[in-house]
Amino acid sequence: MKWADVTDADIRGALNAVLHAHNPAAAKNLIEYFHERFSNEMPYNEEALLAFVKMAFRRMAEGGWSADHAFGLKQKRGHHQREDTFERDVMAAAFVILRMRQGWRWEAAIGGAANLLMPDSTGDKAMQAAYAKFKGLSALPSETLEGLLPLGTSAISRDMTG
């Protein structure tokens, strides 16, 4: 039996992953666990089952979610886990502000931030969004902004893109 050695802590962990992290693999594991236990007339974590079903029913009744989305088997659009980009976005805004103070064109400053902070030098749109979000940093002195840049970022004073 696949789920014979599962502990209540394992079940609570999987339930939390479904409730808070939108984890389809954990949802599938919970369903398999409960099915295996029901099919073999074995004891199961009733509290976890009730919480799992309540969550799904609430999502369907109040949010209009489909059963697959409500039980966590599919991620609902806009509900996927996003990486935290706060630190990167602050660095991008500081970089863009500094370069524009040094006479760089907007496009060049955004491209420079993408080259510095994004894989494969992609991500101009992300850098534009970061600047829009943190452009208020422009009230800070240049020395403070330089302290926000990644270590080893040189203070280039001219536009290298011509």
Mean of the per-residue pLDDT values of the chain: 85
CA contacts within 13 A on the Cβ side of 22:
11
pLDDT at 117: 87
Read off the tokens for 80.
């996927």
Q: Is 113 exposed, middle or buried (0-12, 13-18, 19+ CB in 10 A)?
A: buried
DSSP tally for the chain: helices H, then strands E: 8, 0
Please tell me the pTM assigned to this model: 0.49
DSSP structure string for 7-54:
-HHHHHHHHHHHHHH--HHHHHHHHHHHHHHHHTT----HHHHHHHHH
* Domain spans, the chain: 8-70, 86-148
User: Cα(129)–Cα(150) distance, rounded to whole angstroms?
Assistant: 19
pLDDT at 78: 53
Position 123 confidence tier, pLDDT thresholds 50, 70, 90: confident
5-49 pLDDT per residue, tens: 888 888 988 888 888 777 888 999 999 999 999 999 999 999 999
User: Cα(95)–Cα(148) distance, rounded to whole angstroms?
Assistant: 8
84-110 pLDDT per residue, tens: 788 889 999 999 999 999 999 999 999
User: Cα(74)–Cα(56) distance, rounded to whole angstroms?
Assistant: 12
User: Cα(85)–Cα(88) distance, rounded to whole angstroms?
Assistant: 5
Position 162 confidence tier, pLDDT thresholds 50, 70, 90: very low
CA contacts within 13 A on the Cβ side of 134:
23
